[in-house]
Amino acid sequence: MAGKKSSGSGAKQGGVHTTPNPGGKGWVNQVNGETVSRHIKKDNAVERGREIAIDKKAEHTIHKKDGTIGEKNSYGNDPNPPKDKNR
């Protein structure tokens, strides 16, 4: 089944992606490829994306202006915890 490719989001199941708005100015937060919030400033989009990820206990992926991944933060059950941490 062919689907609409979202520009650079690559959102995983339940993950939150903060990306440049593919439709124009500003930034958006996407979950499963669906836009859940729109913002003029990246800082505001990142803050809201973090809140959504914490609420969903999900990973938050923050993209750079060029669409590449700049940072990832996990707020839930991390399937790949850092190996240097003793648990």
pTM of this structure: 0.74
Q: What are the residue ranges in the chain where pLDDT is below 70?
A: 1-13, 78-79, 85-87
CB atoms within 10 A of CB 37: 17
Residue of 52, 41, 49, 16 lying closest to 31 (CA atoms): 16
Calculate the average pLDDT of the chain. 84
Contacts of 72 (CB under 8 A, 6+ apart): 59, 60, 61, 62
Q: Where are the domains of the chain?
A: 16-74
- The reported pLDDT for the residue numbered 38 is 97
Quick one: CA dihedral 78, 79, 83, 86, positive or negative? positive
- The reported pLDDT for the residue numbered 85 is 62
How do residues 42-59 score in pLDDT, each as one tens digit? 999 999 999 999 999 999
Q: Round to whole Å and give the CA distance between 18 and 9.
A: 8
